[in-house]
Amino acid sequence: MSPAPSSSGFPSVRMRRLRTHPKLRDMVRETHLSPDDFILPLFVRHGEGERIPIKSMPGHAQLTVEQLVEEAKEVEELGIPSVILFGIPEHKDAVGSDAYSEQGIIQRAVRALKAAGSNLLVMTDVCFCEFTDHGHCGIISDKHGRVDVDNDATLEILVKEAVSHAQAGADVIAPSGMMDGMIAALRGGLDAAGFSHIPILSYAAKYCSGFYGPFREAAESAPQFGDRRTYQMDPANGAEALREVALDLAEGADMLMVKPALSYLDIIRRVKDAHPEVPLAAYNVSGEFAMVKAAAANGWIDEQRIALEILTSIKRAGADMILTYFAKDAARWLRQS
């Protein structure tokens, strides 16, 4: 039934009435953004000395272990509950051995945070692209005349990496390599090593995206040849993401992730609709961050307004957690609002 006309002849039900007062707008707001939603990615390196700024990601830097501990204090003070660590090793080799070394950069970083009494939830990225001299996410093989990542051989070292992170004190393991059978292998390896209590946040739907460029500068992880299309997802595919998600859940994933976020809001929504009971993260990746920063530096956009609008859209699409390089700035902005 259509609304009854008012004396003016227009419908008496008007949506604008709920937008007339700022407090009323706040009260009827459907999606609420909070620092509790954020996970801050951090880059840690071997050595001492100054922070090394990441040119394509203003405000971010490669940190030494000591600087990471200080950074963590500020993150906690801002009310951000979690960080995810990416490592830049001192030496790289074909199998990324620093990734699973007891004295590896991530292992040292986690132990330092725990020794300092940090209350942050410490997540660790489990992959090899930062640690291999060729920049791919696992062991390279030449089978049938085709050079590619050897899926099953890589699973073995991924397990070693995950267990070493757990032994160092990581709270959550976040594998990003997109190897088939990865979650089952990691769950089995962690359980066998006595870490059945450690949850796995799976990069279940990780696309082969052009938005990763600044990250590859930050983590020094650009492939030295080829690309990652044989193991990361085709950006054109949506149904495939649901298959990847279902497989990871069947293998034992505790939480899911969609990466990137901004161009994949439809995927976030589809995954959440398919599995509403499973916590869902979305990664607001480096290229998404860098575009906003560059446009704001040129005076073309309002950085605060655009960044918060993007983060709100990611949460509105269905994400329960957002990995974002805006975490610290957004936490400050939300405090002021």
Question: Is 328 a residue of the active site?
Answer: no
- Residue from 55, 114, 259, 328 carrying the catalytic annotation: 259
User: Would you put residue 90 in left (φ > 0), alpha (ψ -120 to 50) or beta?
Assistant: alpha
Cα dihedral sign, 323-325-326-332: positive
DSSP letter for 242, please. Answer: H
Closest CA to 61 of 291, 284, 293, 217: 217
Question: Is 272 a residue of the active site?
Answer: no
| C-alpha torsion 242→245→246→250, nearest 10 | 180
- Residue from 73, 114, 206, 293 carrying the catalytic annotation: 206
Contact predicate 62/45, CB 8 Å: yes
First vs last C-alpha separation in the chain:
40
Distances (CA, A) of 51 to 59, 129, 152, 299: 11, 22, 37, 27
Contact predicate 289/325, CB 8 Å: yes
CA distance 72 to 261: 25
CA distance 170 to 162: 9
Bond from prior residue into 260 cis (ω within 30 degrees of 0): yes
CA distance 189 to 288: 34
Contacts of 4 (CB under 8 A, 6+ apart): 11, 12
**Catalytic (active-site) positions:** 206, 259
